[in-house]
Each structure stands twice: as structure tokens, then as C-alpha cells.
Amino acid sequence: MNCPTLLRVVYSVIRQCIPILLCGIAAQSCSTLQQHASAHTESSGTVSSDNAAKARRIMREAGLHFSSDTTKAYSYDPPGSLVTTNKQIELPKRRVILFSKAGVGFSTDFDGARLNDVVMLNDSTFRATVAPENAPINFSAWYAFKVWSTIPSKIIRLTLTYTEAHHRYIPKLSRTPSADWRSWRPIDSTSYIPHYDSTGRTITSATLRLALTPDTLWVSAQELFTSRDFEVWSTRLAALPFVQKTVLGKSALGKPIIRLDISEARPDAPCVVVISRQHPPEHTGTLALLPFVEEFTSQTPLAQEFRKKFRVFVVPCVNPDGVDAGHWRHNAHGVDLNRDWYNFNQPETRLVRDALLHMRDSLKTRFVFGVDFHTTQHDIFYTLSNPPLVTAQDSIAYATIPEYSTYNTEAAQRSAFVEQWLERLQELFPTYQVTISDSPRTPHGATSGRWFDRELRAPAVTYEAGDETPRELIQSIGAASARILMQMLLDREKTINRSQE
């Protein structure tokens, strides 16, 4: 059964079961990739009737997931991810480790580095341990280090092992690293041996064969792009007369969080919101964000017309502390920022929220789109489905909103806008699979996309580029998706204006 058909079936089941759901079943909608399916957690109560049990069985057979864990937002989240008060973290060690007998050195003395320990097994074999900033945590096992030999040439074997996780990223190597991904290349497959667990599906560790010279070799989970690179990129864009670069505020460790405003329109013009890098290792999300944002600054007639009618609000790096510390997921307080958009316990999420609410409340800004760039194993667009009714608590909460029916109609329009945007992207890239993972709106949703939808009433999407998606393709899709968005928003404004004449 394809996804839209499944969705219709599920929707009809849910509609029939709303009275049952109100008794306390948690459910979720269809996902094109079930392993990414979101499990909503506002579940409680007991299933007491035969009908409820039947509904539950039908939904389970349809691939829906039930969770009673109230500390997890998604099925792949570890327990406690929705608890966003400050947690204990291990600060990164910035150091050089020299094995003089073997003539080999390692360094983590740079932003973005992570390699917790290295031991020498013999003079050409080493084992490294990579650990997260705190635990439990998602398995985004980031590492980055420099390595060299003190003799003219030496081949070593280095096994990367992990605490709290499995191996995820294919190593990227560079001798002349820069912000340009072309200065890096994935390790040669003949020099990369993944080690699987007994299921044959999970890579527990990986051995790298590295050819060393005194010229430093950089090894990183993904191409390095730290807060300094965001600063350089933003400053370059801000040289354009219609780009304003300001500091939104300071991160937990006092690093500036950069804000860009792109526009030639009035201060209260309709606005597109773009954010990224809540999760430190998610560099391919940045690789999509950069051309996406740059499209709004181009000299094409489309971009020029767009800038005269719309504004673009950009926070390219929400979590500079985590990026520079080489974190796997969290900010300097050990918290997943993209689970803090309900409680707002962290300075970074509060800063973005306050700036946007100021625009909404003081300037009466209308928000026409919100996108948050991320990275996951494969390219996925997380969207919000309609109706906004799935869990029991959601149903009750939404039913108590006085303007519920208006809200529901507008929510459907927002979903349709995002759907149309992705359909056009698919038409433009017929050989590329635009994968959509649709999940329900929730009144307490703690991700940025849900907050953009709920508080800004903006069509919202979480844009995930894959770990190993070809970089040129990521850039092409990032740029094209911005062009499609500009055209759709301009067309829609013309329709709105005509209907008001």
C-alpha cells in the first residue's frame, strides 16, 4: 500500500475512532520510512473497550507505533529527550597525544574536534575511543581529529570504537581543509573496514588504514564547518546591501548566534524563517541551507521581485557551542535543542523564539514558511499532516481552542502548501526520490517545525539531507527548493491581492 492510500485508510480509522481516542490511545500517522516514524507521547489512560482494542490493532497493522514513554518525542529518541533542563556534560579535551616510539601524533586541538582517547596496540596499530558529550543520546557518533607521522611516511591502522553508540559516518579526509566541502574526500573504500555486530546490520566500529606523513591529515565524520565558517559566510553575504547581519544573542558559552535578514521590502512584509544546526554533526543540512539562503540574495528577476515583497529571517547556526565542541547532539547544557520548543529552557531556543515573537506581535509579521535544516541517514522532508488530531490529549487540547474549525482549515492549507512545494521539487528532479515523512500536529510538540506551525501559523518543514548524499545534489536541491518557494509565494500573493481587489 502506498503512503497516501495508507494515510487515507488511517485517517478514516482515526475519524471513526475519535471518541475512542479521546478515551486515551496514542497513535501516529503514516511515514514513508517507518524507522523514522514519530511516536507521540501524550498517551495515557487505558483501552477499555473492544472497539478501542480493535482500533489499536488496525493501527498497529497499518505500521503505526504506540508509545507510553512520556519523556521521548520520537521513536528514535533516547529516554529523557523531552527533559530540557540543564544536564551534566563532559567538556571536550583539547590536546595532542604523541606516540614517540611509533612516530605518530594525534591532535584534538581545534574547533569541532572529538576523539576521547587513543591507545597504541603495536607501533602501527591504534585503537581510539569516541564518546558523546553526555548520555543517553542519539547515535550520531561524531569524531574529528588530526593525525601525522614524525617520520617521512608511515601506514597505520586505527580502529574507531564508541561508547554509548555505533559507528555512523564514513570518514572524510583532508590535508588542506577549508569550508568548501571539495577540500575533503571520503576515505577510499579499500582503506575502510566496518565491523558489524552479530545481526550483520549494525556497524559497531570501523578500522581505517591511514597513510601518514609529517604533513597533517585531518579525519572527520563529515566535512568540518564550524562557527567561524558560519561567521565568514554570513559576513560575505552581509556585504550585499539587502542583507543585514546582526547578533541575535549569546549561546550558553557566550558565542554569538548570528541572524541574517534578507529583504528590500517593508519591515512588516511577510516572512520566511530559516534555521539550522540545532544538532552539531548535521553538516549536510548546512550544505543544503547555504545555497537555499543564497538563492534569496541572487540577482535573478525572481529573487529581485521576491525581495521587494518578502523578508527572510535566517539563523544559520542555532547551536555554535555544540558545533565547536564536536558534540553528537546537544548544546553546552547537554540538551537536545530541537526538543526544547515547548519548554524553552535553553538560551539558544529562547533567543530564536523571542525574535520571531517580537516580529509577530510588534510588527504584525505574517510568517509564510518555516524551514529547519538537519541531517539524517537519508534525505527526508518531515511535514505536518492534517487533521491535527491523533492522540487523546491532542484531541482534547485542540477541541478546546475556540477558533478550532478556523485553525483546522488553515492547518490544512499549510499542509497543502508544503505538499505542493515538494511535488514541484519532485517534478524538477524526476530521478531523485523526494521522501516525505508526515506526522500529526501536536499542541505540545517540542520541535521547531511544530512551533513554527503552532505559533507562527507558518507552513513548516524539517529538511533533512542524507549523511552521504552526493554534495552537488544536496546543493542543487537546496537552491532549487528556494526558487520553487519564491515562485509559489509570489504567485500566491498575487492571487490574494487579486481576491482583495
The contact pattern for Zn ion, residues 289-318, with x = CB under 5 A and - = no contact, is ------------------------------
The contact pattern for Zn ion, residues 119-158, with x = CB under 5 A and - = no contact, is ----------------------------------------
DSSP string, 213-274: -SS-EEEESS----HHHHHHHHHHHTTSTTEEEEEEEE-TTS-EEEEEEEESS-TTS-EEEE
Q: Which is nearer to Zn ion, 108 or 331 (CB)?
A: 331
The Cα-based distances of 481 to 339, 376, 407 in angstroms read: 26, 18, 27
Interaction between residue 327 and Zn ion (CB under 5 A): no
Name the minimum Å distance from CB 336 to Zn ion.
9
* Interface with Zn ion (CB under 5 A), residue from 154, 374, 454, 457: 374
**Helix, strand, or coil (residue 292):** helix
Name the minimum Å distance from CB 245 to Zn ion.
24
Stretch that binds Zn ion, among 61-69, 237-245, 269-277, 366-374 (CB under 5 A): 366-374
End-to-end, the C-alpha distance of the chain in Å comes to 45
Backbone angles phi, psi at 87, to 5 degrees: -125, 160
The grid cell for 465 is: 539531507
Nearest to 295 by CA among 320, 317, 314: 314
Interaction between residue 279 and Zn ion (CB under 5 A): yes
Q: Determine if residue 468 is left, alpha or beta; phi over 0 gives left, psi from -120 to 50 gives alpha, anything else beta.
A: alpha
Stretch that binds Zn ion, among 48-56, 63-71, 237-245, 372-380 (CB under 5 A): 372-380
Stretch that binds Zn ion, among 10-18, 95-103, 269-277, 281-289 (CB under 5 A): 281-289
Q: Which is nearer to Zn ion, 259 or 279 (CB)?
A: 279
> Using CA of residue 197, residue 201, residue 204, residue 208, what is the dihedral sign?
positive
Stretch that binds Zn ion, among 84-92, 147-155, 368-376, 478-486 (CB under 5 A): 368-376
Cell 550558553 belongs to 252
The number of beta carbons lying within 10 Å of the beta carbon of residue 254 is 10
Q: Which is nearer to Zn ion, 279 or 424 (CB)?
A: 279
Q: Which is nearer to Zn ion, 286 or 386 (CB)?
A: 286
The number of beta carbons lying within 10 Å of the beta carbon of residue 358 is 11
Cell 513548516 belongs to 460
Stretch that binds Zn ion, among 310-318, 360-368, 374-382, 478-486 (CB under 5 A): 374-382
Tell me the site size for Zn ion, rule CB under 5 A: 3
Q: Which is nearer to Zn ion, 374 or 424 (CB)?
A: 374
Name the minimum Å distance from CB 73 to Zn ion.
12
Interface residues with Zn ion (CB under 5 A) are 279, 282, 374
